[in-house]
Amino acid sequence: MDIRQATVSDLLGMQKTNLFNLPENYTFKYYLYHAMTWPELSYVACNPKGEVVGYILAKMDEENTEIPSGHVTSISVLRSYRRLGLAAKLMRQSQHAMNHLYKAHHITLHVRESNKPAISLYRDNLGFEQTGVEKGYYADGESAYQMTYKFNKD
Ligand SMILES: CC(C)(COP(=O)(O)OP(=O)(O)OC[C@H]1O[C@@H](n2cnc3c(N)ncnc32)[C@H](O)[C@@H]1OP(=O)(O)O)[C@@H](O)C(=O)NCCC(=O)NCCS
Query: Does some domain include residue 66?
Result: yes
Whats the size of the chain, residue-wise?
Answer: 154
Ligand 1 pocket member 16 (CB < 6 A): no
Q: Where are the alpha helices (DSSP H) in the chain?
A: 11-21, 28-37, 86-102, 116-120
Asked if residue 3 has its Cβ within 6 Å of ligand 1, the reply is no
Residue 74 above 80 pLDDT? yes
Tell me the per-residue pLDDT of 104-151, one tens digit each, with 9 for 90 and over. Answer: 999 999 999 999 999 999 999 999 999 999 999 999 999 999 999 999
pLDDT band at 152 (very low <50, low <70, confident <90, very high): confident
Q: Is 154 a member of any domain?
A: no
pLDDT at 154: 57
Q: Are strands 129-134 and 106-112 parallel, antiparallel or unpaired?
A: unpaired
CA of 34 to the centre of ligand 1 (A): 23
Domain around 87? 2-107
In a domain, 129, yes or no: no
- Look at residue 63 in the predicted model and tell me its pLDDT: 87
Q: Name the β-bridge partners of 55.
A: 44, 76
**Average pLDDT value for residue range 45-65:** 95
Domain membership of residue 25 (yes or no) is yes
Atom 5 in ligand 1: residue holding the nearest Cα: 87
* 131 occurs within a structural domain: no
